[in-house]
Chains A and B, each alone.
Chain A
Amino acid sequence: MGDTFTKSMAALHTWAGVTIGALLFAIFWMGTLSVFSNEIDRWMLPDTRLEARDAATAPSLDRIAQAVVPGVPAGARQWRVDLPTARTPVVEFSYRGADGAEHGRLLDPSSYAFLPPQGSAGATGFIVPFHYHLHLNWMETGKWLVGVAAMTMLVMLVSGVIVHKKIIAQFFTFRPRKRLQRSALDLHNLTGVLALPFHFAIALSGLVIFMTIYFPQSYYGAYGSTAKDKAAFTAEAYGRYTRKPANAPGPLASLDAMRDRAEREWRGGQPYFVRVWNPGDANSYVELRRSYAHDMTMNLDQIYFDAATGEVLARFEAGPVMTVQRFFSGLHFVRFERWTLRWLYFLGGISGCVMIATGFLFWLEGRRARHAKHGLAGVAVVEGLTIGSVTGILLATSALFVANRLLPADAGYAGVDRAGMEIRVFYLVWVLAFCHAWGRCTRAWREQLWAIAGLCVLAVGLNWVTTGEHVLKALAQGQFAVAGMDLGLFATALLAMMALRRIKRA
């Protein structure tokens, strides 16, 4: 390992970081929030702040069917209900119409009544998909960009370690009182090295989730490259049962009986969702999948029942290699119910965001010094980009939460519903943050940090005003998600103020 190897790795690390850093920060930030997506949903969708139920009081599937089936239009291809969990105390009903479009409503699991439309995508509807496909769905462009970012992150983690000559000696080094470039590098190294297993596992597991998108060639040889071949692979790896509709009407047998049958087959395992295919048809069939709320591996156990008679039609379980794939997926998705571990993931995510942001700061300060020496002006452009990418997206997120509380229920404009308006506020503020950054240059850091702190505190206040719940009341009522979100917003405001003090001294 000669000197040129380290030099090439240093150049690779720098240029890969500059190229992908902004995108990577966005993905990592949204991913960090996604860890608590269900909890943020409680905050953003106040009608869903119901009491959590335990597994013993699972709602009756037949009563749910009674409530939802009348709303399923003729010709719908499927409808499904996702059963309530400890983190999501509502029944999520959705159906896919004949045109393929998806529609959804929420139900109260105690009263089986529909909740009023919430007018918001919440975190699971906007933040989580942003994290894995950037809402760029044309030709899977978003997923490919995220994949490139993840692969680049792996390269940067390895190259970063190679380049960090004093990795052992500086294992615990953080000098916050030195000048900004030194402090930023210290913090970058700290968060990068100490949480290295987390960052590496997250990036790799994220890639593994979409392995069939990133390496379709994997099944080209063994199966073929047509759509039929892909369907064959998907069926064998992930499980899939299909049966053509009879185009004649047929009844729906007791779903609760099917659930009991499934629980016996799964030796106590509970279903986490129920899907009825070709509803109302004589050849309709019901799919149940086993919950992985207490496992790391996101099992693929599924049972298919004949809708009319309740007889078992098919079963599926993942093979050993696919089980490994689902273990990696579970490592990344964090769907399990272990709130202490969930918090650790969140802190890991924050450390990743800090790693990326401090990397940017270190590079920027170095550039500033070099450009000042040579009288160049490029720093302004790059600094604007950095500000918009880091504080800008944090600002847009705070604005999203404020808009969620402020927008009236009937908000809408030119065919865009309230949920869409919320999202547009996010993007608008993000764009404005970039413009502000390029206009105000270095001062924009402080101004945006002030704005973030202000909006976060405003969001907490608005939650109190619009829902009547503040932190203490939420805690008293067992609404830990809401309390946690309010406290998180306060903490963000606090951190923004601390960052303000720090960069003032720069």
Chain B
Amino acid sequence: MLELLTMLGAAAMSYVAFAWLALSQEGNWRALPGNADRPMPAPAVQRRWRWRAASMLACAYALCLWGHGPSFGTVSWVLLSAAGAMAVAFTLSWRARWLRALAFQ
């Protein structure tokens, strides 16, 4: 059970982290409904999003290490990062409006 919970927790963190990373890029931010004509958030905001993403990824790694140990934890984190990033890409393609909740500055 602990194994599953730490995986799910780290997966969620990975998803949120990559969502912020994606939103910090203009092309992806504009994909959200209604953002096509709005002014792009300031570079400071973009940097903030990237910092949040990095911190969240670090937290995910820490959680993986805590729940699965050094080798399993590292491998899990690398794979969860890939999965999280892909999930964000698919969200942007099909349900971009879901990311609106994370686009807070």
Contact = CB atoms under 8 A, between A and B. Distances in A.
B93 to A, nearest CB: 5
A351 B27 contact: no
A5 interface: no
Contact of B4 (A174, A190, A340, A345): A340
Contacts of A197: 78, 82
Q: How large is the interface on B (under 10, 10 to 19, 20 to 34, 35 or more residues)?
A: 20 to 34
A153 to B, nearest CB: 17
B85 A194 contact: yes
A46 interface: no
The size class of the interface chain A forms with chain B is 20 to 34
Interface in A336-352: 336, 338-341, 344-345, 347-348, 351
A191 interface: yes
A325 to B, nearest CB: 15
A316 interface: no
A247 interface: no
A347 B88 CA distance: 15
Nearest to B67: A340
Contacts of A341: 7, 68, 72, 75-76, 79
Contacts of B93: 174-176
Contacts of B21: 171
Contacts of B86: 190-191, 194-195, 351
Contacts, number: 70
A176 B94 contact: yes
Contacts of A296: 71-72, 75
A198 interface: yes
B65 interface: no
Interface string A342-368: 001101100100000000000000000
A169 B3 contact: no
A347 B72 contact: no
B79 A171 contact: no
Interface in A182-225: 190-191, 194-195, 197-198
Contact of B89 (A190, A344, A348): A190
Given A173-B27, A198-B82, A344 B76 contact: yes
Interface in B61-90: 68, 71-72, 75-76, 78-80, 82-83, 85-86, 88-90
Nearest to B79: A344
A297 B71 CA distance: 9
Interface in A83-108: none
B22 interface: yes
Contact of A348 (B4, B27, B79): B79
A390 B23 CA distance: 35
Contacts of A176: 93-94
Contacts of B68: 338, 341
A297 B78 CA distance: 18
A358 to B, nearest CB: 13
A471 interface: no
A344 B75 CA distance: 10
B89 A173 contact: yes
Interface string A416-439: 000000000000000000000000
Counting chain A CB atoms within 10 Å of each CB, the highest count among B18, B86, B92 belongs to B86
B9 to A, nearest CB: 11
Nearest to B7: A340
Contact of A344 (B22, B80, B90): B80
A169 B86 CA distance: 15
A266 interface: no
Interface string B35-77: 0000000000000000000000000000000001001100110
Interface in A147-181: 169, 171-176
Contacts of B85: 171-172, 194
B25 A327 contact: no
Given A174-B93, A190-B89, A169 B27 contact: yes
Interface in A128-147: none
Given A295-B71, A344-B80, A347-B79, 14 more contacts: A172-B85, A172-B92, A174-B89, A174-B93, A175-B93, A176-B93, A190-B86, A190-B89, A197-B82, A296-B75, A340-B4, A340-B7, A341-B79, A348-B82
Top-5 shortest CB links A-B: A344-B79, A296-B71, A340-B7, A172-B89, A195-B82
27 contacts: A169-B25, A171-B21, A171-B22, A172-B22, A172-B28, A172-B85, A172-B88, A172-B89, A172-B92, A173-B27, A174-B89, A176-B93, A194-B82, A194-B86, A197-B78, A198-B78, A297-B71, A336-B72, A340-B3, A340-B4, A341-B72, A341-B75, A341-B79, A344-B83, A347-B83, A351-B82, A351-B86
